[in-house]
Amino acid sequence: MYELKDREYIIVFTGPDGSGRKAVADAVGQTFHMVKVLSHTTRAPRPAEADGQDYHFITEEQYDRMERNGEFLESIRLGASRYGIREEDVANCFRTSGCLYLILNCEGASILKKLYGDRVVRFFIYADRSVVEERQRAKGIPEDAIQAHMSRYEQEMECQADCEHAYENYDLAHTVFDITNTLEGYLKRELVERD
């Protein structure tokens, strides 16, 4: 397991699908020059998705091989698809940046917490059921995937109590501003406010 040095943090954005984890995470990540660790997955890419940008899309056989080789720091199954974070990707990201971020479901977030303790900071992002459903529709997520996500909404919401920080996300700029302030307390980058 990769040993974390002083001031190295793993920032995890979690919460229900459609709550805005990716939008919030990418904005906050840019502010702090954090590197995003992409997951490997066996699910097929959607038309708007690209390999190496949204996920590393791999076959079941490739995933099996990597799992057998013990390459995954955490690995989960959701329905017919598998998702995992490769340990080497985490180590490589720390070589280029002192801080990295990931977007995971609750199960993955708690696995990383158990592995890295205080060095993992979980930000739980949430919004009402009807809002997250509508956002996914507007984003063009296929209806069957939306229904699968919504069937997990309550379960993912239960994760809130377990997370270090929780933010409702209705006004994106507002959410990003609040999380940036909280994260500054950990990273101490001495950000300068600009209009």
Ligand X SMILES: Nc1nc2c(ncn2[C@@H]2O[C@H](COP(=O)(O)OP(=O)(O)O)[C@@H](O)[C@H]2O)c(=O)[nH]1
Ligand Y SMILES: Nc1ncnc2c1ncn2[C@@H]1O[C@H](COP(=O)(O)OP(=O)(O)O)[C@@H](O)[C@H]1O
- Selection from ligand Y, ligand X, none that 170 binds (CB < 5 to 8 A by kind) is ligand Y
CB of 23 to ligand X, least distance (A): 13
* Rounded Cα–Cα distance for residues 24 and 171 (Å): 10
Instruction: List the single partner that 81 binds among ligand Y, ligand X, none, CB under 5 to 8 Å by kind.
Output: ligand X
Among 103, 125, 159, 187, binds ligand X (CB under 6 A): 103
Angle at 175 between CA 163 and CA 123, to 5 degrees: 15
Looking at residue 50, its amino acid is A
- In the set 23, 27, 66, 76, which binds ligand X (CB under 6 A)? 76
Residue corresponding to tokens 């199954």: 77
Interaction partner, residue 29 (ligand X, ligand Y, none; CB < 5-8 Å by kind): none
* Residue 120 interacts with ligand X (CB under 6 A): yes or no: no
Query: Within positions 15 to 44, which residues make up the interface with ligand Y, using CB under 6 A?
Result: 17-23
Please state the closest distance from residue 125 (CB atom) to ligand Y, in A: 6
**Contacting residues for 178 by C-beta, under 8 A, at least 6 apart:** 167
* One of 135, 146, 159, 179 touching ligand Y (CB under 6 A): 135
Q: How far is the CB of 169 from ligand Y (least distance, A)?
A: 5
- Window 19-58: contact mask with ligand X (x via CB under 6 A): --------------------x---x---------------
Q: How many angstroms separate the CA atoms of 140 and 136, rounded?
A: 6
Residues in contact with ligand Y by CB under 6 A are 17-23, 103, 135, 139, 169-172
Residues in contact with ligand X by CB under 6 A are 17, 39, 43, 74, 76, 78, 81, 83-85, 103-105, 107-108, 145, 148-149
